[in-house]
A and B are shown apart, each in its own frame.
Chain A
Amino acid sequence: MNRPLRKNQFQEELKGTAYAWPMGLWFTLFFTVPLGIIILYSFLKRGLYGGVEWKFSLTAYRQMFNPSFAKVLLRTLWITIVATFFCMALALPTGYAMAKSKHQTLLLFLIIIPFWTNSLIRIYAWISLLSTEGFLNNILIKLHLISQPLHMIYNNGSVILVLIYMYLPFAILPLFTTIDKFDFSLIDAARDLGASKPQSMFLVLLPNIKSGITTSLIFTFIPIFGEYTVPLLVGGKESTMIGNIIVDQVSKTRNWPLASAFSMVLTILSLIGVFWMLTTGAREQVSQSKKVVTSQTELEDSVAEHHKTHQGGAS
């Protein structure tokens, strides 16, 4: 009785491996290998006309600490932090209102609509809104609120504004799905036990939507940190971010090892984020009920989905 069963099991396992092959091959060829090349290149000497010389060197990493690059790194960091902060500050009440609303489908639809337009076109729309002879300045002058057009574009402020606009949906959606699953009778319970409205939000709502907050943070912080179109199009001279440096190093200065080294910074940052999210997820899986476990796996799936689409754009 034992032998045929074993044989069947073996066959089943073989089938599973066979089915997994295409995906494994795809990931190896188009994800692991390119990542390996980037890691490798970051430790090589730059070629004179682009490319690399096959000699081990740490020059790229040393160059990164060049004061001008360090300045860009710091700027990228603070722009990202400010933009992420505002995204979260706007997304939390929005997600809450959406979860409480009777018109969820409509509101979700409204958030998804902008994605039907190419992001470049949306950035250009902002340019025509903000520029010196743009829509906003024209209106303000017509209303006699100002006599001279305001400089609303090509500075760090406009970069942050457009970044918030671009990434707000990424912050709202995970928060909405988590808050939507939140048991609002917990808020009633907190109020009943003597908590004021703000207390019930901070002591009961926030700790129970941690996973949504983490996902939102990562969905906004990491892509903003690697962003290059927004600072390129609406930023000024002093708005360069890491993304712009990578593009410059690859296409203009042709220092591929340095570009790879900067990419490593982004990759490591993303990895930290993903691990953080997975560990908070795992902790919640242990401490919470089955219902939340399913929602957690859903979230992880959506993270995987998101990363797939973003790798396509970034690398």
Chain B
Amino acid sequence: MTQEGNRPKLNGVEVTIKNVSRTYGDFKALDNVSIQIHKGEFFSLLGPSGCGKTTLLRIIAGFDSPDTGDVLFDGKDVLPLPPDKRQSNTVFQTYALFPHLTVYDNIAFPLRLKKLDKATIDKKVREYIHLVQLDQHIDKKPSMLSGGQKQRVAIARALINEPKVLLLDEPLSALDAKLRQSLLIDLDNLHEQVGITFIYVTHDQSEALSVSDRIAVMNQGQVLQIGNPYEIYEAPATRFVSKFIGETNYFEGTIVSCEKQGDEYLCMVDIPELGQQVSVTDYDPQPVGAHEAFTIRPEKIRITSEAPAVHPGQSVNSFQGYVDEPVYSGFQSKFFVRLDAGEHPIFKIFKQHTTFLDDGPEIEWKDHVYINWTATDGYLIKDLKR
């Protein structure tokens, strides 16, 4: 979508969502949600369906209004304004292109409402059609376009009004996986080009992780965590976030000890399910006896069929087990390993197909294996309720 020498540079706006709640009958769609979205940021609302992300987007756009709370654009209350008076435009999930109008007329629609003169409209429409590279499809009706082209028309139409914030409601969900990837990159480039605030609603964590500046993870009407993709993935704040984002091994236990070690604290966690203690580091000291959860991402565990060499001075967790099920998925292999110890829980391990590290012979079904990870790769979750 990037076109040199054709850059409608616009200004973003800061979006403040303050204590917003919305209920439908008995259903709490939004429960006291507060989010501060920076000027020009690519911000994602991520969560499963029914988590309230779309309701929040519709409230920002003006299609719905909250029971309580405020929505501010650059500090100005926008709740009294109808959708047509807000400085936001929306790219709808189904694109909502007007089927009776051509690509040109769809994109010209907002300008014609403003009663601009024909020459100005024509110049601007062509500029935006060029921006999304639809020059050849200018006279086509939406029904003659592919899914990706429709989406680009929807984006051009939403941008031509020069909004301060662009709201995207799962704009890629109707497309196939390959196309989704390339359009996601286009979207990222476009954001860089126009420079306005993007608020992107999605249930797809990989989409959110790959393009967002920051992400708010939502569930059951609540915001569970706000952070950049790295923080969300590496340091999930709650039980739900750790399980919803990516795959993980999750075990609850009790803090046995916590000692300062360098910048961090090395804690021992007693996990009944594993039948032994696990070492894990945290930035803060954890109170002994606290009920917390230990989690380790599958790709951070090393799996070998021979006992690995011991590295002194490094806090390594070591377990043994049997490969319950190996799953070959092209770019990596997934192993489901049933531990010998404790209640014989299953560990998920992802192994990259690199031959650089000498991991010994190929691991197969029912092989006895060693699994190891360092204390710094594990993570403690304190909020187990949400």
Q: A203–B89 Cα gap in the complex (Å)?
A: 18
Q: A195–B112 Cα gap in the complex (Å)?
A: 10
CB distance from B11 to the nearest CB of A (A): 18
Binds A, one of B12-20, B91-99, B124-132: B91-99
Docked-complex contact B141 and A186, CB < 8 angstroms: no
Docked-complex contact A193 and B113, CB < 8 angstroms: yes
Smallest CB-CB separation from A196: which chain B residue? B84
Q: A288–B93 Cα gap in the complex (Å)?
A: 19
Smallest CB-CB separation from A199: which chain B residue? B113
CB distance from B9 to the nearest CB of A (A): 21
A194-B94 contact in complex given A287-B143, A288-B143, C-beta closer than 8 Å: no
Contact with B along A180-206 (1 / 0, CB 8 A): 000101101111111110010001100
Contact of A67 with B by CB under 8 A: no
Contacts of B143 in A (CB 8 A): 287-289
Contact with B along A280-315 (1 / 0, CB 8 A): 000000011100100000000000000000000000
Docked-complex contact A192 and B90, CB < 8 angstroms: yes
Smallest CB-CB separation from B109: which chain A residue? A193
Contact with A along B80-92 (1 / 0, CB 8 A): 0011100011101
Residues from 159 to 198 in B contacting A, C-beta threshold 8 Å:
161
Other-chain residue from A189, A199, A287, A288 in contact with B92 (beta carbon distance below 8 A): A189
Docked-complex contact B100 and A193, CB < 8 angstroms: no
Docked-complex contact B92 and A188, CB < 8 angstroms: yes
Smallest CB-CB separation from A193: which chain B residue? B110
Docked-complex contact A289 and B99, CB < 8 angstroms: yes
A194-B114 contact in complex given A204-B98, A208-B99, C-beta closer than 8 Å: yes
Docked-complex contact B161 and A194, CB < 8 angstroms: yes
Contacts of B83 in A (CB 8 A): 188, 191-192
Q: A288–B62 Cα gap in the complex (Å)?
A: 29
Contact of B157 with A by CB under 8 A: yes
Max chain B CB contacts within 10 Å: which of A186, A190, A192, A196? A192
Contacts of A190 in B (CB 8 A): 98, 109
Smallest CB-CB separation from A206: which chain B residue? B100
Contacts of B97 in A (CB 8 A): 189
Contacts of A196 in B (CB 8 A): 84
CB distance from B122 to the nearest CB of A (A): 18
Contact of A16 with B by CB under 8 A: no
Contacts of B90 in A (CB 8 A): 188-189, 192
Contacts of A207 in B (CB 8 A): 98, 100
Docked-complex contact A191 and B96, CB < 8 angstroms: no
Docked-complex contact A185 and B161, CB < 8 angstroms: no
Docked-complex contact B89 and A193, CB < 8 angstroms: yes
A188-B114 contact in complex given A193-B161, A196-B84, A289-B143, C-beta closer than 8 Å: no
Q: A298–B59 Cα gap in the complex (Å)?
A: 37
A191-B84 contact in complex given A199-B113, A287-B143, A288-B143, C-beta closer than 8 Å: yes
Q: A193–B162 Cα gap in the complex (Å)?
A: 10
Docked-complex contact A186 and B84, CB < 8 angstroms: no
Interface of A is mostly: helix
Contacts of B89 in A (CB 8 A): 192-193
Contacts of A193 in B (CB 8 A): 84, 89, 109-110, 113, 157-158, 161
Contact of B63 with A by CB under 8 A: yes
Contact of B61 with A by CB under 8 A: yes
Q: A196–B98 Cα gap in the complex (Å)?
A: 16
Contacts of B61 in A (CB 8 A): 188, 192
Contacts of A191 in B (CB 8 A): 62-63, 82-84
Docked-complex contact A192 and B99, CB < 8 angstroms: no
Contacts of A210 in B (CB 8 A): 100
Contact with B along A6-25 (1 / 0, CB 8 A): 00000000000000000000
Other-chain residue from B62, B94, B100, B113 in contact with A185 (beta carbon distance below 8 A): B94
A288-B109 contact in complex given A185-B92, A193-B89, A194-B84, C-beta closer than 8 Å: no
Q: A281–B384 Cα gap in the complex (Å)?
A: 59
Q: A238–B185 Cα gap in the complex (Å)?
A: 74
Contacts of B93 in A (CB 8 A): 185
Smallest CB-CB separation from A287: which chain B residue? B141
Q: A189–B169 Cα gap in the complex (Å)?
A: 12
CB distance from B56 to the nearest CB of A (A): 15
Smallest CB-CB separation from A289: which chain B residue? B143
CB distance from A80 to the nearest CB of B (A): 29
Smallest CB-CB separation from A207: which chain B residue? B100
Smallest CB-CB separation from A200: which chain B residue? B84
Q: A190–B109 Cα gap in the complex (Å)?
A: 8
A186-B96 contact in complex given A193-B109, A289-B143, C-beta closer than 8 Å: yes
Other-chain residue from A195, A204, A208, A288 in contact with B84 (beta carbon distance below 8 A): A195
A194-B92 contact in complex given A188-B83, A208-B100, C-beta closer than 8 Å: no
Docked-complex contact B98 and A186, CB < 8 angstroms: yes
Residues from 150 to 208 in A contacting B, C-beta threshold 8 Å:
183, 185-186, 188-196, 199, 203-204, 207-208
Q: A185-B94, A289-B143 are in contact. List 18 more A-B contacts (CB 8 A).
A: A183-B94, A186-B98, A188-B83, A188-B96, A189-B96, A190-B109, A191-B63, A191-B84, A192-B63, A192-B90, A193-B158, A194-B110, A194-B114, A195-B113, A196-B84, A204-B98, A208-B100, A287-B100
| 9 closest Cβ pairs, A-B complex | A189-B96, A193-B110, A207-B100, A191-B83, A185-B96, A194-B113, A194-B84, A192-B90, A289-B143
Pull 30 A–B residue pairs with CB atoms less than 8 Å apart, ordered by A. Answer: A183-B94, A183-B96, A185-B92, A186-B98, A188-B63, A188-B90, A189-B90, A189-B92, A189-B96, A189-B97, A189-B98, A190-B109, A191-B63, A191-B83, A192-B63, A193-B84, A193-B110, A193-B113, A193-B157, A193-B158, A194-B110, A207-B98, A208-B98, A208-B99, A287-B100, A287-B141, A288-B99, A288-B143, A289-B99, A292-B99
